[in-house]
Amino acid sequence: MDFIPYGRQSIDRDDEAAVLDALRSPLLTTGPRVAQFEQDMCQYLGVPFAVAVSNGTAALHCAVHAAGIGKGDEVILSPLTFAASANCVLYLGATPVFADVLADTLLIAPVDVEKKITSRTRAIIAVDYAGQPCDYTALRELCNRYHLVLIADCAHSLGATYGDRSCAFHADLATYSFHPVKHITSGEGGLVTTHRKEWADAMRRFRNHGIDADHAQRSREGTWRYTMKTLGYNYRITDIQCALASSQLKKIDGWLERRQQIAKQYDAAFAGDHRLDPLYVHENRTHAYHLYVLRLAEQYGANARQQLFDFLRSRRIGVNVHYIPVYQHDYYVQHHNGGYVHCPNTESACERIMSLPMFNSLSDDAVARVIAAVQQGLSDLP
């Protein structure tokens, strides 16, 4: 039996040709393919500015920097996410404050966000968990009322829509990741979008050591002078990576359709099963299905989940758990009062969820094998 991973990339001949082309061109980094990919993403997402960087974590760091987050500030986010969503707040000496998720969707609960707002709150980071957009109407309303910046961590939601617009359109700053398990890949890569030119400029500096003009502009102007204006990093992405990313983006529509088709097959197979507690998907949102999350019914706990997980792994199915609450990581417990945070909906869900294989090249046969194994694993539960 072949091992079925929970996610994997698809690379075709066009991708290979695009990368070869970049390799044979004069500029391997900070060249025309970076700007082209940024433009491609602006067009796809319907936003005016995009800044491509070396990975999704760098994108988050750029976003909180552009939002002006600093020492003493608080940023509210859901704990049901990859640690990077919260770590970016710590990078700037600010404090991540965790608001609980809604039990039905596992997306951040605007009501709990409002409870956590203090005079120090500066921003909200909305994580489109599994690929479903958060409640951008309610979050925008809170941001307007309390003068907060709305940052969207869209690592799961490339291609998702809220109403008929992208998540990036609804946020002040939105970040993407192009790690191989995400919708499109550049090996490693990330990108931030914004509606504000001054924020885009600040992020372009931030990705290049805080230096103002780029080398192309200096060479056009025939000058060697440049100045470092702020403390920045080297978060640049290469033309080789952006060539791959642009080539991948061309295929996103068909790939999303396939992910949604797979989700439908899983949904249909598990519908009405009293041992399961499926996540709710809202009518006016399209789900991009970075993950397909299976959730056991409330009567089950961590032991039943472990049993099902072990059974599926023994059947060579690469299930995974996304995620343990960020505040429960050792580092957060030891250094950031993680042991004192309590988000009941998050903790209850975390004991009962697992992610099933979900990627566009997953075959119907493989989906059927996963479904049969899940059904057998469920019938073995006490």
Ligand X SMILES: *Cc1c(COP(=O)(O)O)cnc(C)c1O
Q: Which residues are catalytic?
A: 182
In angstroms and rounded to an integer, the radius of gyration of the C-alpha atoms of the chain is 21
Residues 275 and 337 sit within 8 Å (Cβ to Cβ): no
Which positions ≥6 away from 14 have C-beta within 8 Å? 247, 250
Pairwise CA distance, residues 257 & 254, whole Å: 5
Q: Which of 89, 33, 39, 87 is nearest to 200 (CA)?
A: 39
Pairwise CA distance, residues 119 & 19, whole Å: 49
Closest approach of Cβ 132 to ligand X, in Å? Answer: 13
In the structure encoding, which two tokens stand for residue 123, read together? 């921003």
Of all residues in the shown chain, the one whose CB is closest to ligand X is 56
Compare residues 125 and 304 and give the one whose CB is closer to ligand X. 125
In the three-class reduction of DSSP (H, G, I as helix; E, B as strand; rest coil), residue 45 is classed as: helix
Residues 357 and 351 sit within 8 Å (Cβ to Cβ): no
Where do contacts with ligand X occur on this chain (CB under 6 A)?
55-57, 81-82, 84-85, 127, 153, 155-156, 177, 179, 190
Residues 206 and 65 sit within 8 Å (Cβ to Cβ): yes
Compare residues 15 and 153 and give the one whose CB is closer to ligand X. 153
Pairwise CA distance, residues 138 & 305, whole Å: 33
Q: How far is CA 81 from CA 146, 236, 266, in A?
A: 24, 25, 23
Place of tokens 């899940």: 374
Closest approach of Cβ 180 to ligand X, in Å? Answer: 10
Compare residues 152 and 378 and give the one whose CB is closer to ligand X. 152
Measured between alpha carbons, how far apart are the two ends of the chain, in Å? 27
Closest approach of Cβ 235 to ligand X, in Å? Answer: 11
- Report the largest interatomic distance among the alpha carbons of the chain, rounded to a whole angstrom: 75
Q: Which of 266, 380, 369, 379 is nearest to 1 (CA)?
A: 369
Pairwise CA distance, residues 321 & 81, whole Å: 11
Compare residues 320 and 348 and give the one whose CB is closer to ligand X. 320
Closest approach of Cβ 187 to ligand X, in Å? Answer: 10
In the three-class reduction of DSSP (H, G, I as helix; E, B as strand; rest coil), residue 317 is classed as: strand
Pairwise CA distance, residues 349 & 302, whole Å: 10
Closest approach of Cβ 326 to ligand X, in Å? Answer: 10
Compare residues 189 and 377 and give the one whose CB is closer to ligand X. 189
Q: Which of 167, 141, 135, 132 is nearest to 152 (CA)?
A: 167
Closest approach of Cβ 177 to ligand X, in Å? Answer: 3
Compare residues 171 and 378 and give the one whose CB is closer to ligand X. 171
Closest approach of Cβ 13 to ligand X, in Å? Answer: 25
Compare residues 193 and 374 and give the one whose CB is closer to ligand X. 193
